[in-house]
């Protein structure tokens, strides 16, 4: 099969409608979240007597809480029912949520918008297990790495574009009303794409859906732990989300404090990180030669540590006021960009083979629940990442470059663990019954 097979998938109905559906969802989530946070920060000036900082963190908490509450139910439903039907229902729910959000944006009902963040998180919770569990059913084994590479690239590009779009909309006088229109339009487009997703085979008659939010999420951990090598892959992916969340969270303050940059520098840092992940994701199919293998993973882990360490030394001691143009023309600042692209590329090399591995090595009747467990652990690691940032930067008084260096050293420990895991496996595992 040609090395361009992953791009050929974009011309096929079994993949393209799903790809457009998940892309529109990621874009809309980030457009709404970032627009709301900007409106709260610069227009509302705090809500319910709370400071802006508290409201911003409350918003992040409300979005991530449903992953802990409902992932168990979401995983059971995705294993029990036909997946394209779930996708359509989830996207239909998005239209309803975004229509109410549009009213909140139009009339500046910010308290309502915070509640809707919880509902958006719930919608994302139910889409997450289907998003990755459907791929092994519509793709051949030799297409799995390439398909995951496309999904990974699309997700991060959608996040970037949604974030940029929110910032651009804030430049207009009628920012809230324009955002209201945009989120509804994107939700409708996502639903139209979802209607084109072909039906998949399902044999989930043995799966019982129990409406016990927290308990079913706890039970996911037992399902994920049934296959030790799959659980290790889950933990490795969650480690990357810990690392990625730490980088992304610090970009605004890193740009302002350590690079003396304006808002265009923050956008450029985010863009370079995203471009890197996209490149790394696209490289995986060629490097794996269309096989489900973990060979790129230790190389990705090594690169994460090397580029992260060099980033610490690349930051200028006496920065000058900078814009995006400074960063791409001044060799000192250009080195920072190269390191961030390198971190992104190695991140793509690290996680895409792991996602394909989990899908390939998981029985079809449990695949969605294991993906749901992965989402829970990802969310947990991102929360811990935020707490780690508070402790290291606040209580221990590290600089942001020092924090990046610490993360790179911790990642070196992960690299050793990955190598030990690879050596113990010695050879590729046999596939399970799909």
| Predicted confidence (pLDDT) per residue in 303-338, tens digit | 999 999 999 999 998 888 888 898 899 998 999 999
Q: Taking the alpha carbons of 264, 266, 267, 268 in that order, is the dihedral positive or negative? A: positive
CA distance 89 to 415: 40
The pLDDT of residue 200 is above 90? no
The residues near 314 (Cβ < 8 Å, ≥ 6 apart) are: 332, 335, 336, 339
What pTM did the predictor assign? 0.86
Q: Where in the chain is the domain with CATH 1.20.1250.20?
A: 1-203
Q: Report the CATH number of the 1-203 domain.
A: 1.20.1250.20
- Position 315 scores a pLDDT of 93
Identify whether the C-beta of residue 9 lies closer than 8 Å to the C-beta of residue 146: yes
Burial annotation 140-159 (CB, 10 A radius, 16+ → b, else e) = eeebbbbbbbbbbbbbbbbb
Q: Report the percent of the chain where pLDDT is more than 70.
A: 92
The residues near 169 (Cβ < 8 Å, ≥ 6 apart) are: 35, 175, 178, 179, 182
Our measurement of the distance from residue 169's CA atom to the centroid of its chain's CA atoms, rounded to an integer in Å, reads: 23
Largest CA distance in the chain: 64
The pLDDT of residue 359 is above 60? yes
Residue 175: φ, ψ to 5°: -55, -45
pLDDT digits (tens, 9 = 90+) for 70-103: 888 998 898 888 899 999 999 999 999 999 999 9
- Position 430 scores a pLDDT of 46
Q: Report the CATH number of the 228-361+398-428 domain.
A: 1.20.1250
The pLDDT of residue 42 is above 80? no
Tally Cβ neighbours within 10 Å of residue 330. 14
Q: Which residue is it, tokens 């920072």?
A: 336
Q: 18 or 216: whose pLDDT is higher?
A: 18
- Position 428 scores a pLDDT of 47
- Position 1 scores a pLDDT of 41
74 burial level (CB within 10 Å; 0-12, 13-18, 19+): buried
What average pLDDT does the chain have?
87
Plot region of 290 (φ>0 → left; ψ -120 to 50 → alpha; else → beta): left
Quote the DSSP letter at residue 10: G
Q: 187 or 47: whose pLDDT is higher?
A: 187
421 pLDDT tier (thresholds 50, 70, 90): confident
Q: Determine the average pLDDT of the residues in 349-367.
A: 90
């Amino acid at each position: 099969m040609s090395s361009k097979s992953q791009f050929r998938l974009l011309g096929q109905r079994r993949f393209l409608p799903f790809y457009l559906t998940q892309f529109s969802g990621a874009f809309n989530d980030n457009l709404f979240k970032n627009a709301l946070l900007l409106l709260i920060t610069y227009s509302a000036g705090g809500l319910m007597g709370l400071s802006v900082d508290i409201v911003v963190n409350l918003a992040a908490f409300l979005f991530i809480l449903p992953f802990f509450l409902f992932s168990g139910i979401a995983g059971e439903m995705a294993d029990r029912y036909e997946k394209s039907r779930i996708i359509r229902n989830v996207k239909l729910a998005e239209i309803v949520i975004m229509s109410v959000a549009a009213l909140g944006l139009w009339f500046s009902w910010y308290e309502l918008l915070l509640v809707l963040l919880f509902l958006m998180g719930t919608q994302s919770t139910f889409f997450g297990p289907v998003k990755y569990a459907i791929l092994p059913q519509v793709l051949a084994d030799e297409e799995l790495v390439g398909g995951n590479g496309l999904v990974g690239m699309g997700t991060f590009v959608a996040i970037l574009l949604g974030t940029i779009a929110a910032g651009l909309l804030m430049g207009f006088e009628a920012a809230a009303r324009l955002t209201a229109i945009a989120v509804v339009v994107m939700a409708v487009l996502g639903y139209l794409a979802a209607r084109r997703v072909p039906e998949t085979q399902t044999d989930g008659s043995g799966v019982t859906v129990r409406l016990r939010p927290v308990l079913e999420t706890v039970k996911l951990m037992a399902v994920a732990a049934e296959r030790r090598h799959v659980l290790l892959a889950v933990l490795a992916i969650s480690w990357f989300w810990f690392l990625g969340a730490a980088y992304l969270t610090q970009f605004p303050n890193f740009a302002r404090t350590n690079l003396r940059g304006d808002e265009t520098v923050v956008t450029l840092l985010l863009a370079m990180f995203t471009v890197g992940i996209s490149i790394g994701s696209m490289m995986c199919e060629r490097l794996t030669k269309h096989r489900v293998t973990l060979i790129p993973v230790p190389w990705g882990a090594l690169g994460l540590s090397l580029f992260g360490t060099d980033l610490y030394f690349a930051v200028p001691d006496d920065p000058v006021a900078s814009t995006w143009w400074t960063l791409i023309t001044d060799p000192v600042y250009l080195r920072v960009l190269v390191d961030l692209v390198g971190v992104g590329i190695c991140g793509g090399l690290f996680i895409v083979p792991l996602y394909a591995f989990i899908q390939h090595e998981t029985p079809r009747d449990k695949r969605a629940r294991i993906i749901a467990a992965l989402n829970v652990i990802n969310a947990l690691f991102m929360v811990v990442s935020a707490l780690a940032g508070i402790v290291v930067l606040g209580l221990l008084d590290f600089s942001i470059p020092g924090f990046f260096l610490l993360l790179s050293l911790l990642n070196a420990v992960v690299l050793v663990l990955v190598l030990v895991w690879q050596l113990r496996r010695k050879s590729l595992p046999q596939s399970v019954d799909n």
